A and B are shown apart, each in its own frame.
Chain A
Amino acid sequence: DAGVIQSPRHEVTEMGQEVTLRCKPISGHNSLFWYRQTMMRGLELLIYFNNNVPIDDSGMPEDRFSAKMPNASFSTLKIQPSEPRDSAVYFCASSLMDSPLHFGNGTRLTVT
């Protein structure tokens, strides 16, 4: 079991550029979560997928953010255009039914 895999590990980009973060959940898990962590706001849930279907995206900050899960083994979180205030660590997590969340090691995004 390789765990939840996120890429890239670090991303530095300029304001206005498009950023795509990637996540491969644990095989067999049917729920996927995107979180964002900053010093000021802590861990924030952005969006939650169940069986590849977005269930709740009320945590997505604004229309610049979008997430997709085209199949059970892959999800993306896209920010376009990116802004400096989007700088944070973005975590992906997956779970099976009511099992605990399994987190990846995150993508540290810096927008200059």
Chain B
Amino acid sequence: LAKTTQPISMDSYEGQEVNITCSHNNIATNDYITWYQQFPSQGPRFIIQGYKTKVTNEVASLFIPADRKSSTLSLPRVSLSDTAVYYCLVGDIGAYNTDKLIFGTGTRLQVFP
């Protein structure tokens, strides 16, 4: 059973880089690491997904060390609109094991002007 641990909250200022770390000590070989963002009154939205090393897209970067027991979501130069809850999800969505579709408590990021 993959389980994730994230900080409950983080504060930042506009223009800064924000790094949110997720611990997943029991990650399985076939598991991917996926991050979602949720704004109030909306459903979670996919940000980035990775398996190992580094993944980068137009929104964020995801750093995964060799042992894969943790991952770090990096948001470059945050703005006020990045204020949201960020969830780390670990699992193989292709498998039937729904234990791996469990969202944790997430990290509430507050960006200040």
Contacts and interface: CB of A to CB of B under 8 A. Distances in A.
Nearest to B91: A98
Contact of B43 (A42, A55, A103): A103
Contact of B34 (A42, A56, A100, A105): A100
A101 interface: yes
Interface in A19-34: 31, 33
Contact of B103 (A42, A97, A99, A102): A42
A45 B93 contact: no
Contact of B49 (A45, A100, A102): A100
B106 A42 contact: yes
B94 A98 contact: yes
Identify whether the interface residues of B are mostly helix, strand, loop, or mixed. loop
B96 A50 contact: yes
Interface in B74-113: 87, 92-94, 96, 98, 101-106
Contacts of A56: 96, 98
Chain A interface category by residue count: 20 to 34
Chain B interface category by residue count: 20 to 34
B98 A58 contact: yes
Nearest to A46: B98
Given A42-B106, A45-B101, A48-B101, A93 B92 contact: no
Contacts of B98: 45, 48, 55-56, 58-59
A105 B104 CA distance: 19
Interface of B: 32, 34, 36, 41-46, 49, 87, 92-94, 96, 98, 101-106
Q: What are the 8 closest A-B residue pairs judged by CB atoms, nearest first?
A: A103-B43, A98-B94, A100-B46, A43-B103, A56-B98, A98-B93, A91-B43, A48-B98
